[in-house]
Structures are given as C-alpha cells and as structure tokens.
Amino acid sequence: MSDADNIYTTPIVNKDFKGKRIDKFLAESFPFISRSQIQRIIELGNVLCDDITIIDNSYKIKSGESYILTLPEAEPAEPLPQNIPLDIVYQDADIVVVNKPAGMVVHPAAGAPDRTLVNALLYWCDGLSGIGGIKRPGIVHRIDKDTSGLLVVAKNDTTHRFLCEQFAEHSIERTYYAFCHGCPSPACGVVSGQIGRSPRDRKKMAVLAHGGKHAVTHYQVVSDYHGAASKIKCNLETGRTHQIRVHLSSLGHHLLGDQVYTKSQKITLKGAPAEALDYINHFPRQALHAQTLGFIHPATHEKMLFSSDLPADLAQLEQALLSL
C-alpha cells in the first residue's frame, strides 16, 4: 500500500509470515523493488516499525507488526566533472591521495547531487576505478562531509581491489585528531563496540547491544585543556560510519562542534578569554581531522605514508584552547 509517491506500508503481519526475514517479506510485499534494493533501503535506515528503525536485514518479523518503507529520492544517473579546487597530495598512474576540506561531500547522494569530491576528481583525473559504481568511481573509503583530511582514491580496478583488501584486513594506517569536551580517563585506551544505525534516530549511529558491525578505536590524550576539553589522537582499527564520533561520545566526550552527537555543552572557565570561549563554543563543525594515512602501494608494494597539517579552522581552535 502506498501512502505517498515514495512511502509504502505493509499489511499487518499475520501468523503465516511470523519469523520470516524482513528483507524477504518486504521484497514479496513490494515485487517492483528488488531484494538487493530492499536490503540497501534497510541499511540506510529507511524501514520503520512503530517508530523504531529496523536496520538488520535478518530481522525476524512478528505477528501484529506493520512496516513503513521509504524509497530514497531519485538521483541523477551519472556525476559530471566539475572544476572544483582540490588539494592533491600525491598522484600517479594508480592512486590519488587527496586532502579533503571540511564541508565537501565525498560522492553524490540524496541532498548532495553535485559539488562533491567525485565531481572534482572526474575533472582533475584522467580515469577512476569503476568498481565503486557510477556514483562512487574510485572511492575506496569515505570521511564525513564536515571532517577534513586524507583520502586515497583508486584510478583502476586492480588498485581498487588491492586497497579494499588492506581495509578489510585492517592493515591501513589511519590517524585522526579530535578535539573533545572534557578529558578521558584513563588518558589512553581502546574503545570497542558494535556500531549500527541508532534505533531511536535514523540520522545517528550508535553502539548497539545487538547487531551492528564490530568497531575498534585506539585513543590517546595529546593535550588536556584544564579538564574542560582535550585533543585526542585516534587510530582506527576498523572504519565504521561516524566511528570516532560515536566511540568518544560513548565515553561521554563529544567532539567540539558536533551538531549531531553533542549534548548542548558549553565550556566555561573562570578567567578564560571571552573571545576564545566564543570561538570554541560556536565551532561550526565536528572538530575532527584525518591527519595520517598509510598503506602498501598496489603496484610497487612499497609502504606509502602521508600526513596533513591541521586546517586553518582547527589550528585556530587549538590556539583558542591553549589560551584557556
């Protein structure tokens, strides 16, 4: 049953369907949508049951339940090259390493049809791997729109597969710097926990008791700003959506400027410069930078290691914190 052009509601489940996988049930209920598309829609958090988001394709449906499925908005068929400035750190016949600015989306998606990293790469590079599909040519991994820092992009399919294997084996070296509320104790440690779509808010990821994907973050406090904030070095063992933001939030240390995960916290320190406090408390994005990226080159098999400085806004944030 269709409630709108892109919203569909199933009948109430009866006992004959009890225990069936939700992806199979939805594919049978809406035969004009393929099962693979259904699975992707579920993973995107676009299936609800009584205002609870279903994010597990193997979820067993129950008698008396009904499900609401929302189709993603249609997107242009193919991204176009666009002359957008890029900070290309390194490039050869196989790879491109880019220092992505905050505010740039990695690839076209709903709400960001163009002006993405992919559009820029199509303009500046001769060729990209097709494995990522039309929307994501060459894209091996991503960082959030408002996170700055290093990404490696594949220029051919052999390179793409080789890099994906390294990511799957967790042998890629990735170091991030985060500026957070408060200071973790102990000052170094490991955060692990299954990360998946939050059942309460589809825009968020969360550490889940059941389901989700295994995620591990190693952290170390680099600077402690009177206990009010801290600069933290994070090394990713895995790479899940919003991993650092979710893991540090689970410790009670939300990233400064994070508009999604932060609780309305303000830093107040007696005697601190008002201008510095204003800059810190109104920082417009999550204070997170992908600073180091290391991997084995797919053609030469040499170890490649790249590093990028903090961008100007985070450097200014660090100076404001040092003045507290």
Per-domain residue ranges of the chain:
2-70, 88-168, 173-322
For the CA atoms of 207, 208, 209, 212, the dihedral, rounded to the nearest 10 degrees, stands at -120
Catalytic residue among 56, 94, 144, 313: 144
* Domains 2-70 and 173-322 are alike in CATH topology: no
Superfamily per CATH, domain 2-70: RNA-binding S4 domain (3.10.290.10)
Indicate the helix (H) or strand (E) that contains 173. strand 173-181
| Predicted pLDDT of residue 110 | 75
| Predicted pLDDT of residue 96 | 98
User: Which of 158, 166, 148 is closest to 290 using CA atoms?
Assistant: 148
| 94 catalytic per annotation | no
Please, is 142 exposed, middle or buried when counting C-beta atoms within 10 Å of its C-beta (0-12, 13-18, 19+)?
Answer: middle
User: Which of 92, 88, 90, 89 is closest to 300 using CA atoms?
Assistant: 92
Which pairs with CB-CB distance under 8 Å and at least 24 residues apart come from 25-29? 25/61, 25/67, 26/67, 26/69
Region 88-168: CATH code: 3.30.2350.10
For residues 232 and 52, what is the distance between their CA atoms, to the nearest angstrom?
34
Q: State CA 81 to chain mean position distance.
A: 24
Q: Which two tokens stand for residue 20?
A: 């069936």
Decide: 234 and 286 in contact? Cβ < 8 Å. no
| Predicted pLDDT of residue 74 | 55
Q: Cβ contacts of residue 16 below 8 Å, gap of 6+?
A: none
| Predicted pLDDT of residue 289 | 98
Average pLDDT per block of 10 residues along the chain, 324 residues long: 69 84 91 86 84 85 87 71 97 97 92 92 91 84 96 95 91 97 96 89 86 92 97 95 95 95 85 95 97 97 98 98 96
Indicate the helix (H) or strand (E) that contains 152. strand 148-154
Q: State CA 141 to chain mean position distance.
A: 9
Q: Which two tokens stand for residue 36?
A: 């693979």
Question: Tell me, what DSSP letter sits at residue 209?
Answer: S
CA distances from 73 to 3, 23, 111, 139, 202 (A): 15, 20, 9, 22, 16
Q: What is the pTM of this model?
A: 0.77
Decide: 299 and 94 in contact? Cβ < 8 Å. yes
**The residue type at 68:** I
For residues 308 and 315, what is the distance between their CA atoms, to the nearest angstrom?
12
Q: Which two tokens stand for residue 288?
A: 């997170």
**Three-class secondary structure of residue 309 per DSSP:** coil
- Domain covering 173-322: architecture: 2-Layer Sandwich (3.30)
> 262-285 burial string, b = 16+ CB within 10 Å, else e?
beeeebeeeebeeebbebbeebeb
Backbone angles phi, psi at 76, to 5 degrees: -55, 150
| Predicted pLDDT of residue 2 | 47
